[in-house]
């Protein structure tokens, strides 16, 4: 394939963004901003289809609901920081348009992204095996495995990126199977298999849950038109492969042991301090209590963190001060910041994105499902890497379609 100058430029911007996710927050902002900028020329002429308009409108309205709460936030400095942090949500229409212009580069974009998460992933796996005894014990104590690369991306954020790469890579390999002898195909297939191995070694539960949910949608979409033989082979592989990976990963086995202990603490109402999931449950309850106090407007995007921390003193003072965290549940955190209307807007975005794309654009449906489940266990729109990934991969997946019918709607 002979590349045009604009395509080379876009690939460089994409490379900067993808590598910036683990190397440099500045590269994330520069890459995303310039990608969105390429979607502005000809925006009105090319336009968005019905699904893209609906998702864009929901994203912009959700962003504006948070921006509006700036005016009743006491901490204006923190409010402004949050508003700037979430700018990718406002830029989503232009991000979608930018990817629509680069439809011929979908394989190249995927290969770059898969490698950008493989590299820090394999370095982190090496670090794990170099300190295996220590890290296995830390997992049993609810501690994460560190991502040893660049500026130190948060482990849950990185697991979500790995999950997106695996789901997208799997979809590509199924869709392009007839081209399996192509070097590009083989590269993506190998990177996808390696990333599957990496996510099971690093064993972040949020990323694994999102990954399997996304793969389930891809499997259902693929098997709808498959023959009986393909169906049973795929079903058998779907059952056996996770069992093999589990049996080979000590870290994943320890994570399951820790998760069961976490559930026991929740079910018996024992002391939740220093139990990851149990503390999340208490943070959810604390957030719900704050929402009851200001259900329509929220407490303000700049004051949410302090209000949640302070509310623990009355709601559950048994939680130690260092453990009084935000809910790690984006829907609840958005409602705390800007009221239940913000929660509804975000939830509608997920529901519409999953349902409207399921038949004709299963990759988009899978990515929406992955992000939805991830946001139930992590506040993915409160950190730079994950809010940028949210906008970028919604935009990319909605313009990546198996059929041309989607583009012609």
Tens of pLDDT, residue by residue over 74-130, are 999 999 999 999 999 999 999 999 998 887 888 999 999 999 999 999 999 999 999
Asked if 160 and 374 touch (Cβ cutoff 8 Å), the reply is: yes
Tens of pLDDT, residue by residue over 282-332, are 999 999 999 999 999 999 999 999 999 999 988 888 888 888 888 999 999
Asked if 109 and 188 touch (Cβ cutoff 8 Å), the reply is: no
Burial 46-65 (b: 16+ CB within 10 A, else e): eebeebbebbbebbbbbbbb
Tens of pLDDT, residue by residue over 133-151, are 999 888 888 788 888 887 7
- CA–CA separation, 319 vs 327, rounded Å? 13
- The predicted model gives 50-79 an average pLDDT of 95
What number of other Cβ atoms are within 10 A of residue 314's Cβ? 9
Of 393 and 1, the structure prediction assigns the larger pLDDT to: 393
pLDDT-derived band at 337 (thresholds 50, 70, 90) equals: very high
CA–centroid distance for 43 within its chain: 27
Residue 186, pLDDT above cutoff 50: yes
Domain segments of the chain: what residues?
5-256+339-408
The per-residue pLDDT of the chain, averaged, comes to 89
Tens of pLDDT, residue by residue over 237-270, are 777 888 888 888 888 888 888 888 888 888 888 8
Residue 404, pLDDT above cutoff 50: no
Tens of pLDDT, residue by residue over 200-216, are 999 888 999 999 999 99
CA nearest to 200, candidates 166, 234, 169, 171: 166
pLDDT of residue 45: 57
What is the distance in angstroms between the CA of the first residue and the CA of the last residue of the chain?
A: 29
Asked if 237 and 186 touch (Cβ cutoff 8 Å), the reply is: no
Instruction: Report CA torsion sign: 141, 160, 382, 291.
Output: negative
The DSSP output letter for 105 is G
Residue 274, pLDDT above cutoff 70: yes
pLDDT of residue 339: 95
pLDDT of residue 405: 34
- CA–CA separation, 59 vs 24, rounded Å? 26
Asked if 387 and 381 touch (Cβ cutoff 8 Å), the reply is: yes
Structure tokens given for 281: 């449950």
Longest dimension (CA), the chain: 65
């Amino acid at each position: 394939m002979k590349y045009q100058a604009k395509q080379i430029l876009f690939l460089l911007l994409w490379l900067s963004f993808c590598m910036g996710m683990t190397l440099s927050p500045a590269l994330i902002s520069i890459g995303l901003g310039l990608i969105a900028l390429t979607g502005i020329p000809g925006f009105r002429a090319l336009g968005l289809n019905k699904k893209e308009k609906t998702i864009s409108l929901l994203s912009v309205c959700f962003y504006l609901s948070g921006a509006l709460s700036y005016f009743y936030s006491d901490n204006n400095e923190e409010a402004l920081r949050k508003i700037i942090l979430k700018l990718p949500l406002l830029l989503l229409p232009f991000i979608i348009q930018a990817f629509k212009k680069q439809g011929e580069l979908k394989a190249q974009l995927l290969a770059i992204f898969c490698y950008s998460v493989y590299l820090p992933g394999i370095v982190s796996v090496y670090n794990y095996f170099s300190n295996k005894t220590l890290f296995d014990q830390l997992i049993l104590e609810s501690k994460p495995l560190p991502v040893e690369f660049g500026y130190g991306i948060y482990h849950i954020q990185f697991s979500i990126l790995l999950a997106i790469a695996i789901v997208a890579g799997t979809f590509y390999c199924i869709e392009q199977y007839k081209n399996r002898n192509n070097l590009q195909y083989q590269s993506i297939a190998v990177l996808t298999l390696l990333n599957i191995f990496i996510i099971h070694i690093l064993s972040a539960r949020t990323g694994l849950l999102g990954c399997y949910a996304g793969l389930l949608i891809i499997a259902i979409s693929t098997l709808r038109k498959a023959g009986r033989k393909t169906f049973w082979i795929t079903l058998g592989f779907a059952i056996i492969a996770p069992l093999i990976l589990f049996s080979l990963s000590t870290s994943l086995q320890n994570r399951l042991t820790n998760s069961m202990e976490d559930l026991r603490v929740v079910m018996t109402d024992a002391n939740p301090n220093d139990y990851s999931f149990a503390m999340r449950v208490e943070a959810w309850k604390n957030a719900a209590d704050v929402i009851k106090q200001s259900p329509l407007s929220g407490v303000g995007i700049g004051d949410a963190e302090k209000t949640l921390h302070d509310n623990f003193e009355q709601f559950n003072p048994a939680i130690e001060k260092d453990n009084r965290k935000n809910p790690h549940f984006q829907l609840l955190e958005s409602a705390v910041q800007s009221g239940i209307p913000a929660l509804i807007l975000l939830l509608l975005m997920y529901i519409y994105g999953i349902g409207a794309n399921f038949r004709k654009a299963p990759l988009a449906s899978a990515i929406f499902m992955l992000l939805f489940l991830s946001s139930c266990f992590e506040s993915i729109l409160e950190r730079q890497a994950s809010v940028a990934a949210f906008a970028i991969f919604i935009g990319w997946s909605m313009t990546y379609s198996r059929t041309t019918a989607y583009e012609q709607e």
